[in-house]
Structures are given as C-alpha cells and as structure tokens.
Structure 1
C-alpha cells in the first residue's frame, strides 16, 4: 500500500501496499481462478504434519486484546492519499460474536496529519488533517513478529468501489534501510470487490492480490505481484495465508497454494545475503482503507459513498512454525525443502 508520498518520507517503514512507483524491475501476473498455472500445487499446508502453532488470536474475548494489537491513529492516508482517518474507537474496531470487526464509517474526522514515526521529520509535526471517513488499522508491531512460518487469517471482505481491505506484514526493524529496502509482504489485498468487472469470471470484481516489495530505497524499489480471480471471496469467510520459508514464499487461498515466489525473484540493494530482505522478523497488520491510488484507479474509479458502513470481519489469526524432522514425507519440513 505504498506510493510516492510514503516513499518520500525519509527513514519510513510505512503504511501501504502496491501503489508505489518504482524505478526498479516490476513483475505482475494475473492467475485464472479456473486453471492455476503449472507451478501451483495441490499442496494443502493444513494437511501436513509438523506445524506447531506459536501464536493466535481467536477474538473470543469481550474486547480487543491490547497485548496482541496496537492501534495506529492518524489521518495520513497511508501515504496513498487514502480518504480515512485511522482511529482507536470501538465504533471502528471491536469484538462482535467472536470476531474482530474493522468498520469504515462515512464521517468526517480531524486528527494527526502524520503517524508518530515521521512527525519529527515534518516541518509542522503537530499538523492536523481532515478526512471524510474513519476506519481502523491494527498491528502486532512491538508485540509479536515472526521470521518464517505459516500465517493464516480467516476473514470476510467488504465490497464496494473504493474499499481496500488488507492483510500484510512489515519488518519489525529497518535492518536493510527504509522502505522498501527492508521489504514488505502483502498476504492479501483486494479492492472494489463486487463492482462491475468485464474481465472477471462472474462479471464482478473478485481479484485478490499477493505482493512483495523489496530492492532499494524509493524510488529504486521493485515489486513482484500475483493477482487471482477468486469468485468465492464475494460470499462469506475465507482463509488467506502465506507459507514462508528461507528463500521461498507461497500464497494460499482456503489452504491451497496459488502463487509462489523464490529468492531469485527478489533482491536487496543493501545486502548480499541470498534471502534478504525476507530473512528478518516481520509483524502483521490488518486494516481497511477507503480510497487511495490502487482502488481509485480501478473499477469504475473513485470512491462510492453508498452502503456505508463497510465491515472487514476477521474470525481468527493463526501463526505456525515448522517443527518436523527434515526429509520426512508429508511434513512441513519436506515441503520447505522442495
């Protein structure tokens, strides 16, 4: 969720997904929901033995667990000219019937123009901004981060022109420099779901994206993105995930692998390590943006103000690590070696 504004902020590990202009190589592919490419597999990580759950949030309490999640509070717009203020308000993020519900509302709000990590570099660090929508962004930053493993989120996505739900990861530390040198892993993003779409199998937008950002500091950054038509996303809950091993990241939809990226397809300007920058701990982020570069350029354009509020419902978040003997058939370790 990055774009030029985010990248211009020196020293930032920031706020968004795949909108940042890049001078480096970029790769994007669209995968048919009917015929997956040959490199996709019938592998179902959930059927493999050896996975040990190391962290989860089932959202079965009466309130959001502040030991797991931090709230971002600002009207920055994620650096993508998004139209929401992120707030810490039960009206925008709460537990309902065993689910985390992030709600975007059509209501004007005034708040900090910049997030805390860049205010000190701004001419007016106390500047305020006004946006026409409110929403929420939650992160495990400073509370939980992982280097490799299987990460899954079961969620129901909002629909409508301008909606932009995202499940993604940023590095816990800027080991290789500011964005995008230290990397970004976008597990799932979707924009404008349900909107008229001539290229989509059912005539309505049904695309999910998985993206890596890497390379050098902006504008010498690159991205590698896969998009898949998944008509099922328009109805009910589905599970979005990655299986992340040294030098390899696989994207999954309802447990099945649909895209694979290996170390040969990414690079680091500030390290000669084979797997950099995706060899450090990353934390998880859940957010619902309204508007911004990616959704407003797609679909019918702009943001529709109808049918608010919009709800991004998360049933659970689970993280596993592989704890199995190498070379044993049917285990997570064997899959990691392939």
Structure 2
C-alpha cells in the first residue's frame, strides 16, 4: 500500500530534521576543526613523482619550509646524545636543536647543520613529528640535498613506529624503523634498511644498497616510500629502487616521519675531515605524505 502524499511529506520532513540534528551533533557550533597539517604553500593537486598511472591520493601532511622558523605544530627538534654503543673511533655525537634552521633561500628550506662541539665531539640534528602526526599506509616523499662529500655524516629520511617495535618476535607488522635513505656512501648509492624486533638481542634487519644516479653531483633528490598492507616500494627521484612484499617486513601500525643529519660510524670517510661549512649541511626542500 502506497502512503498518502501528506504522510510522505511528513516522513520526508522528519528525515530532514533528523539529518540536521545529526549534522549539528557531528559539528557543534563554536567547536573548531583541528588545524590542517597540509602546508598552504604546497602546490594544489600535487601528486607523488611517477604516480601518473595511479589513482590520485589525498595530501594529508606537508611542509615546504617557507617560514622563518620550524613549525612546532608539526615538528620537534631533538636534543639527545646518539653515540653508538659499538663505536670504536672515539667520536661522540648529539642531535642539537641549534643545528636546525629554516631559511628563506630558494623558496624555503630546512637546514640541518653539522658542528664540532669539542675534540672528537660533533652534533647533527633531527626533527620528527612524534605525537603530532603519524599514519598507517600511504606515500611519503622528501626532497633532500645530501652533502656532496660523505665524510662520516649523512642525510636520513626515516619512519619510526609510534608505539615502538612491538612485542611479537620475527615480524615488523607490530612496528619497525624504515630508513628510506641514509646517504652513507661516497659512491652514488645508499642503503635502504628495515629494522624490527627492537634494538637489543632480538634485533633484526633487512637492508639493500640501491643505485642513486647523480646523488653527489646534483643538488636535490626526492626519496620516497609507498606503503600498503601488502607491499612497500622505495623510490629515488620517482623510480622504484626496492620493492618489499614479505609480510614479515611490512608494518601494519602507525609510523611517524623523521628528518635528520647523522654522524654514524658506518658512513664512508671520517667526520674529522668534514669542512663544517655550508657544504656539510643537509637541506630539505619539502616533505609530503599522501593517503
């Protein structure tokens, strides 16, 4: 039996009123939406390099570093000693906030310097979004200049699990460290490494050295990681350089981005030979995350 038109009108009116109430409950008057983590300076509609054959992704986080200081709604600059326990050359090193600068040249850049604190004591720097932005699955790209000469220090773009590496042995599914790049080589190569099961006796890693044409001879390169529940692809200037499909190496939990300047012993050369001027600085043009 078809309802009378007047009954239909009353039903439609009731549904509209309910919808309005639901909408009001979802967005109460006077309650502000959380601030966007997308930089207004990021070009509208920009997509990851080499993604023309894929469906468009939504930009959820970006920083073009066009201001005059670090955006602390997105980043924390760390103050922390990072000397490796296995270090044998007597060098000690730290992350120091004083080494992190935002500069206006070339449209805006994050600069992370290398400084000498004392004899055999050096500092790089690190910014990360822990507690401010993390994500599960998506595409990250960072456009970075690594020092032309690798002398015991390097540029790094990496992810760390927000809740640590978890407690399930033998898998990265409950959290991992993803070193998207560590520009540790004097050749035009760099390692891409996955660390999981913590950093103590149970620590495991999977690493591959990838080719990086022009790494030291041209200024900027774009390092990326495209992450799904079943596959991770690492990219260099839009080209895939490593593909991971082993489920034991794929995190299924939230991870946060890190940009850093490291003084690691495994890097080629010696930091004692670094010139400690602008040629030793790591520069980041932008970082972007899509989902």
Structure 1 CA distance for aligned equivalents of residues 77 and 141 of structure 2: 20
Partner of 2:281: 311
Q: Does residue 154 of the first structure (1) align with residue 124 of the second (2)?
A: no
Q: Does residue 262 of the first structure (1) align with residue 271 of the second (2)?
A: no
Partner of 2:263: 290
The offset of 1:257, in angstroms, is 1.1
The offset of 1:46, in angstroms, is 5.3
What is the SS of the residue equivalent to 2:70? Answer: coil
Q: Does residue 239 of the first structure (1) align with residue 212 of the second (2)?
A: no
List runs of 5+ in structure 1 lacking aligned partners: 1-42, 109-129, 194-204, 268-274, 322-338
List runs of 5+ in structure 2 lacking aligned partners: 1-48
- Alignment CA distance shift 1:101-1:80 (3 Å): farther
Structure 2 CA distance for aligned equivalents of residues 255 and 231 of structure 1: 12
Structure 2 CA distance for aligned equivalents of residues 226 and 189 of structure 1: 11
Question: TM-score with structure 2 length normalisation?
Answer: 0.72
The offset of 1:165, in angstroms, is 1.6
Partner of 2:12: none
Structure 1 CA distance for aligned equivalents of residues 63 and 86 of structure 2: 29
Structure 2 CA distance for aligned equivalents of residues 320 and 162 of structure 1: 33
Structure 2 CA distance for aligned equivalents of residues 47 and 190 of structure 1: 29
Structure 2 CA distance for aligned equivalents of residues 314 and 257 of structure 1: 21
Q: Which has the larger radius of gyration?
A: 2
Q: Does residue 209 of the first structure (1) align with residue 191 of the second (2)?
A: yes
Superposed CA RMSD:
2.5
Partner of 1:186: 179
Question: TM-score with structure 1 length normalisation?
Answer: 0.62
* Aligned counterpart for 2:114 among listed residues 97, 104, 119: 104
Structure 2 CA distance for aligned equivalents of residues 187 and 48 of structure 1: 21
Paired residues of 1:94 and 1:102 also in contact (CA < 8 A): yes
Q: Does residue 141 of the first structure (1) align with residue 135 of the second (2)?
A: no
Partner of 1:60: 66
Paired residues of 1:145 and 1:283 also in contact (CA < 8 A): yes
Structure 2 CA distance for aligned equivalents of residues 215 and 189 of structure 1: 20
Number of residues paired by the alignment? 230
Output one character per residue of 1:260-296: Cα deviation in whole Å (capped at 9) or x when no partner: 00134x26xxxxxxx5xx000001111111242x22x
What is the SS of the residue equivalent to 1:233? Answer: coil
Structure 2 CA distance for aligned equivalents of residues 50 and 236 of structure 1: 28
